[in-house]
Structure 1
Amino acid sequence: MSVYTQLTDDQFAAFCQRFGVSFARAIPITQGIKNSNWFIQTTDDVEGKHSYVFTLYEERPPEDVAKMAVILNQLDGKLPVAAPLAIVEPESSNANIDSRYVISYQGKGITLVPCLAGAHPQQTTQAMCHDVGAALAMLHETLQTLQPAQDYGVPLYPWSEVRDREIQFMPGDEAKLMSDIWQAYQDLPLIDLPKGLCHLDMFADNTLWDLTKGHEKLTGLLDFTEVSVEHYVMDIAITINDFCTTWGDAEQGERVYFDREKMTAFLQGYESKRALTDIEKRAMPVMLAKAAVIFWLLRLNVIHYNRTEGRTGDNIMVKNPDLMKRLAAYHWSHVEKAQNTVFIIVDSGSNEIKGVFSTIEHAEQALSQAADSANLKVSEHDLDPMV
């Protein structure tokens, strides 16, 4: 939510009037990296308060923003979202209902939405991870009613093109990390993974909370500009990566700490609303790594875009791509460890090996089917790469 396009007070007043809102003041919002955003104070607001968020979408065309308005209205009442206001007097009586929520200005869409109560969390708890997991599952379930889903989601960004551009300038180890993760993702049985409309940017700074200690409550889900048809497990991985990670600042050496107990809480919350399939569970480790790669590329792409467009100034925020690179490396280390691990069924009496399996699920299934499993147990072993 940086500010790229500058508007005058007269322009703000005219746009707000079209939404039936009496404008007093616009306050720039500098968090985020894609669109231009302002808080709108109305003539009815007391000093220091504001009632609406005014967004000018820098990249998404107005027709895509109109789809987002339909999605938000579908979720309204089931999740804490801010549905866009309708234009009081649409420019054309023939305009379809979707476009009545979006003003077009210089080929860019503008919406006005009510402010939601709450604050962005600086830190997350296991309980918060559980609750946002449940909210994401509810989002996935609710949006299944919008069919065909492709008519409501925006196209997925061509990240492979960004990868091909950026990988040329990376050190060899970084390029290999990105390539290995990308290949592992492509090797997944993607056709079998459930998919539908996904948020794809559910970071902590796109949520609002009542942060009363010990009683934190989700009060807002924000930024639906990237809603696309994607694998649900990718949306889960994107959200886990932010909610379950502590991002160190420069003074802390910009370390990245991933909390696996928070991830467990998140998944428990998610599955309280929608059960994951076995194939989704098996794909999760690679998806976590791929999701980190996508946001590594996103941040590199913002730097590239700002440079080519000459974007500078205090209202332009750039997030550090190296943090996502480090998270990708962390997840990939767990994928590699799993690839070098086998699960062995052993007779605890004779120490005789009864079976060797590549996953714990397959080993436990074989154990449950064994005629006499009283003395059998499953043990985990790392493969010696020199053998």
Structure 2
Amino acid sequence: MAVFTPVSDNDARELLTRYTLGDLVSLRGITAGIENTNYFLTTTQGEYVLTLFEVLTYEQLPFYIELMHHLAQRHIPVPQPQTLRDGTRLTLLHGKPCAIVTRLSGGYEPAPSAAHCALAGATLARAHLAARDFAIRQPNLRGLPWWQETIPKVLPFLSGEQAALIRQTLEEQTLFAASAAYRSLPSGPAHCDLFRDNVLFDGTFEMPRMGGFIDFYFAGCDTWLFDVAVSVNDWCIERHTGVFETSKLQAWLDAYAAVRSFTAEEKAAWPTLLQAAALRFWVSRLYDFYLPRPAQTLKPHDPTHFERILRERRKTPALALP
């Protein structure tokens, strides 16, 4: 959500003529994130987020836009893509695909409690079930094939020990992905990036209310367990060590399982999927750190954070799924 492509007020006014969202009041760039250009867009009719897509192609985007529309129609708290006058939900600005979605209320919680974790877990389970009948199929574009393609590009920046760890983990994940055990895991549309800064809460810290899930632009069809693993590797850890905080992890998993029970196959695969989730973000952060794209407000994340998490997941047995 860095600003790669500048958008002026006049650009926004022209864009709004394609919608029925009122007139421009204000436009403000969003500095967080590293993938797309995002602006807070306020009009005389409401508050929205304008996204220009810097990596995803126009042909890939219907999956993400229509998935959010599908979930919103089923009362999952997600941004609602706005429909243009021509009936579509995608257009172009400065030659880039773009969309306008509703801005959800609330803010993200940087230090979530067990109550926040439970709300996030239950809502993710609801989202998985609500997306079962979504018609468009698109793989997780940051899944195994991307790891296999990207790891050779970052190896020159790693120490011998780091290179050995990343190669060994990739080999194990490649073997697991080819197994019958992997094929048995429940799967479907998944967020694949549900970090704490992609969830908004209303209410108070002591009594939080779910505001909604945002930033679906890493979503794809994957195992639902991978989506859970990505989430808890961020929500339920001691930040400086990657060690799980058991009370938060238990709250997250129990709340998810109360909506969708984990299968026996998922329970067996859990340690492997936790490592897969850590590997995915170690690889992407290495790539963004050492091979960044230019942006006005780019703030790459520290890749060593997920290296620590991966080492911890390989060292310490995971809390069993409920």
State whether structure 2 residue 297 is matched by structure 1 residue 319: no
Instruction: Give 1:247's aligned residue.
Output: 239
Give the Cα–Cα distance (whole angstroms) in 1 for the partners of residues 62 and 26 of structure 2: 25
> Greater relative contact order (Cα 8 A, min sep 6): structure 1 or 2?
2
State whether structure 2 residue 278 is matched by structure 1 residue 282: no
Structure 1 range deviating more: 123-132 or 186-195: 186-195
Instruction: Give 2:28's aligned residue.
Output: 27
Q: Secondary structure at the match of 1:217?
A: strand
Query: Could you tell me which of 296, 302, 309 is aligned with 2:282?
Result: 296
For normalisation by structure 1, the TM-score amounts to 0.76
How many angstroms does 1:155 deviate by?
4.0
Give the Cα–Cα distance (whole angstroms) in 2 for the partners of residues 305 and 108 of structure 1: 22
Instruction: Give 1:17's aligned residue.
Output: 17
Aligned letter for 1:36?
A: T
- Residue ranges of structure 2 left out of the alignment (5+ in a row): none
Q: 1:210 touches 1:217 (CA, 8 Å); kept in 2?
A: yes
What are the within-5 Å matches in structure 2 for residues 122-271 of structure 1?
Answer: 122-147=110-135, 149-150=136-137, 155-156=141-142, 158-188=146-176, 189-248=181-240, 255-271=241-257
State whether structure 2 residue 64 is matched by structure 1 residue 68: yes
Q: 1:127 to 1:172 in 2, by over 3 A?
A: same
Give the Cα–Cα distance (whole angstroms) in 2 for the partners of residues 191 and 316 of structure 1: 38
Give the Cα–Cα distance (whole angstroms) in 1 for the partners of residues 96 and 32 of structure 2: 20
Give the Cα–Cα distance (whole angstroms) in 2 for the partners of residues 256 and 237 of structure 1: 13
Q: Secondary structure at the match of 1:62?
A: coil
Instruction: Give 1:78's aligned residue.
Output: 75
How many angstroms does 1:187 deviate by?
3.7
How many angstroms does 1:312 deviate by?
5.0
Q: Secondary structure at the match of 2:130?
A: helix
Instruction: Give 2:3's aligned residue.
Output: 3
State whether structure 2 residue 299 is matched by structure 1 residue 331: no
How many angstroms does 1:303 deviate by?
2.4
How many angstroms does 1:134 deviate by?
1.1
Structure number with greater Rg is 1
State whether structure 2 residue 269 is matched by structure 1 residue 273: no
Q: 2:28 touches 2:41 (CA, 8 Å); kept in 1?
A: yes
For normalisation by structure 2, the TM-score amounts to 0.90
- Residue ranges of structure 1 left out of the alignment (5+ in a row): 45-49, 91-96, 249-254, 339-359, 362-387
How many angstroms does 1:231 deviate by?
1.1
Instruction: Give 1:366's aligned residue.
Output: none
Q: 1:312 to 1:82 in 2, by over 3 A?
A: closer
Q: Secondary structure at the match of 2:42?
A: strand
Q: Deviations over 1:111-138 (max 9, x none)?
A: 1111111011011111211121111111
Q: 2:3 touches 2:295 (CA, 8 Å); kept in 1?
A: no
Q: Secondary structure at the match of 1:83?
A: coil
Give the Cα–Cα distance (whole angstroms) in 1 for the partners of residues 66 and 230 of structure 2: 23
Q: Deviations over 1:37-83 (max 9, x none)?
A: 11112246xxxxx7111111111112322222211121114211111
Give the Cα–Cα distance (whole angstroms) in 2 for the partners of residues 295 and 225 of structure 1: 15
Give the Cα–Cα distance (whole angstroms) in 1 for the partners of residues 124 and 316 of structure 2: 25
Q: 1:305 to 1:108 in 2, by over 3 A?
A: farther
Aligned letter for 2:50?
A: F
Q: Secondary structure at the match of 2:63?
A: helix
Q: 1:61 touches 1:107 (CA, 8 Å); kept in 2?
A: no
Instruction: Give 2:98's aligned residue.
Output: 110
Instruction: Give 2:84's aligned residue.
Output: 87
